[in-house]
Every structure is written in structure tokens, then in C-alpha cells.
Copies of this chain bind each other. A is one copy, B any other.
């Protein structure tokens, strides 16, 4: 059988593993595809650079544009990342009839419409399992296995760096800065950790997941995003004392009436008994709640060269099989056209910690503010120490707008010395 030829764009952490696996697993891959897979070329920025894998120098090129349209290329694998030149190269490849495999979450979340549109217009395959949660098979189950079901909610830990940091804070009592330094020393966090700790990476993944889960279009700009830089050791300890753990969650949910969706990334307390609570280190896990399937969880390595390459290879095999069969995989399915509602309309719960004067009547005044905004209180815990007291309240479900207004009202009370922390509580309600 005639080999299928793969052009690789980028030969960094993921790309070098793709090269290695295409070589080492050649026999298995050929058996699974029904034809050998061959590397046609590898586009890199600089030819002479040291790489983690031996690449035949004759395959290396700096001319990515020429590579993606070459007649002897069937499949283009994009692992450069970022918006440009990745987007232009993918569009060129699809226009030239190539199947495309990408790990590019930023591009899909920011400008998915263009890329998916090009796939549709050109009848080209576009596979992107590696763009979310690394090796965890998540997009294929959402797109295909659950195609006959109705997803209500996706709730997940989709950023390994922040999970490592929060896990360290939880298990050792470390501060955010100390945990971040450790993560950097171990290579889990980059020198500039902004994309991870401010939630940009998770927000891009949340946009992709929401689009697939609800068959609608969601972009990174639609995602309400809060990072973990303000999470203190006190917050973590307080959560622990109440049987919770703090995780950076990506939450994609239908509204109660099903007519809109909310997509958000923020730190939240979840009960220690929740399956996501035990996801430690840099692991990822995603919880999916569907009408018929019930609660499903997918767990695994969310990043790293080899795990991400595993997802890329799975997609290469799929595109290769499609080309042999003369067909293509499932298209983007955005028929639902559900609006993304603002964060204020999201229904959630708050954990609020207040520093208050320790005198009679304080709770009554605080409770009045909650009542004024129609937010009911689930639990209250008061701890006095001398003149001061700490008041910890957990609300019932209410709109985020009502909860925000409640916090504003509390700040205006003279008996409230400080709003020490405010954090959402998730994972206790089922749809």
C-alpha cells in the first residue's frame, strides 16, 4: 500500500516526540492505518538547533509554506502553537487538500470559526484531540461517544501547572509564591507563568470544551476568567478545615432553562469527597455530566511531550484511515447557536470569610445584607478571638450578580473590618 506522508510543523517538546514515535512505532502504525506513515518533512525555525530526537537533516526545512502544499504530503501536523504563522499554514494546508492535526488550543479558542470554516469549505479533516488535556481522550468521547446524549455540564482541572501549585499549597501549607517557585524549579511552570496562573491556558481549553459539549460557538473572550494568584495559604487552610479543597476549575454549563451556556475558569472550593478533589500533582481530570450517561470522569496527564504526542498520533491515524477510505471525520457541530450568558447570570455558591467586630448583633447585620440580595445562607461559623471575630458563611445557590452585590454590601458595613476572602463553591450540586 502507498505510504501516507506526514509534514510536521514544529519540532519542539511535542514535535520531537511525534518524530520519535513515527519511527519507533512504524510497524504498529502501519498495521493500524493499513498503510505505512512516512515523515515527508519537518518545518523548523532554525536548521542547526539541537533537538531531543534525531531527525534526518534532509527532512528539515525552514520553508513551512512550501512544505504544507507539497504534492507528496497527505497530512499536516501543526505543533508550533500560537496564532500566526500556525493559522495561515493550516489554512494553506486545508486549501491544498491536506488533512490537518493540531494541538493548538490558543488558535482554536480565539479563532476557531476561521479554521473550522476552512475545514468545512475544503472538505478537509481537522483533528485536535491534543489541544485539550494532553493525552486524555476527551474530545473524541465528547464529539462521538456522547453524540447521542445531552451534556449538561463539564467541570474539570485542565491546567497542570496550577493544579501542581494548589496541590502543594494544600498538602504542605506553602504560600502561592513558594509553591510557584517549586513548580518552576521542577519544570511544571514556566519562567513567565502568566498564561497558567492567570487562567488563560485553562480559559482557551474551556472554550473548546464548551463548543464541543454544547454544539455552539464559544471563544476565549467569552470565558469568565480568574487566576489563582490571589489564593492565600489561609484560604487553603480554611477550605481544608471545612472539608473542601481549592482547585482551578474550568466549568462549562447550560443554564437551567437550557437556552444559554456559561463558561468560566476560576479557583473554587470542592468537597474532598468529589472525584476531582483527589487529582493531585500536575494531572488533569474532567468531569462530564450528561443526561443519560450520568457522571463520567476522564483522568490523565494533561501535558508533556510524550502524552501530547500520543494524542497527536491517534489523530494522525484517524486522518490516515479517513484518507484511505476516501472519507473524512466528523465536522464541527455548532448547530445549537446558544448564547454565552454573562458571569452575573451564572448560578453558583459563595464561601465568604469576614473579619468582624466580636459583639452581639453582628450576625444579624450580616444576614440582613444577604437577605436584601435574596441570597440565602447555608452555613455560618463564627470564631472569636479577643475584640475580633471571624465569620465564615457559605451561601446557597444564587446568581453571581446577587452574590457580588452581597459582598459589596458587606464591605459597606462598619462592623465588617475586612472581607478576608470570597470563593465560589462547586461540585456539591448535581444537575
Contacts and interface: CB of A to CB of B under 8 A. Distances in A.
Interface of A: 17, 21, 25, 28-29, 31-32, 129, 135-137, 140-141, 144-150, 215, 275, 278, 285, 290-301, 304, 306-307, 309-318, 321, 325-328, 330, 333, 335-336
Contact of A150 (B28, B135, B300, B317): B28
Copies per assembly: 2
A247 to B, nearest CB: 16
A136 B109 CA distance: 27
Contact of A325 (B32, B147, B310, B327): B327
Nearest to A333: B32
A419 to B, nearest CB: 35
Contact of A330 (B146, B310, B321): B321
A311 B325 contact: no
Given A292-B310, A309-B292, A335-B31, A148 B317 contact: yes
A139 B382 CA distance: 51
Question: Which residue, A147, A300, A307, has most C-beta atoms of chain B within 10 A?
Answer: A147
Contacts of A31: 215, 333, 335-336
Contacts of A306: 291-294
Contacts of A310: 146, 148-149, 290-293
A135 B292 contact: yes
A21 B292 contact: yes
Contacts of A294: 135, 300-301, 304, 306-307
Contacts of A29: 148
28 contacts: A21-B148, A25-B149, A31-B215, A31-B336, A32-B333, A135-B290, A135-B293, A137-B141, A137-B144, A137-B145, A140-B141, A141-B141, A144-B317, A144-B318, A147-B313, A147-B314, A148-B314, A148-B316, A148-B317, A149-B314, A293-B300, A294-B304, A296-B299, A297-B299, A299-B299, A321-B330, A325-B328, A326-B327
A177 to B, nearest CB: 28
B307 A292 contact: yes
Contacts of A25: 148-150
Closest 6 CB pairs of A and B: A148-B313, A137-B145, A137-B141, A135-B293, A292-B310, A327-B327
Given A28-B150, A31-B215, A145-B129, A301 B312 contact: no
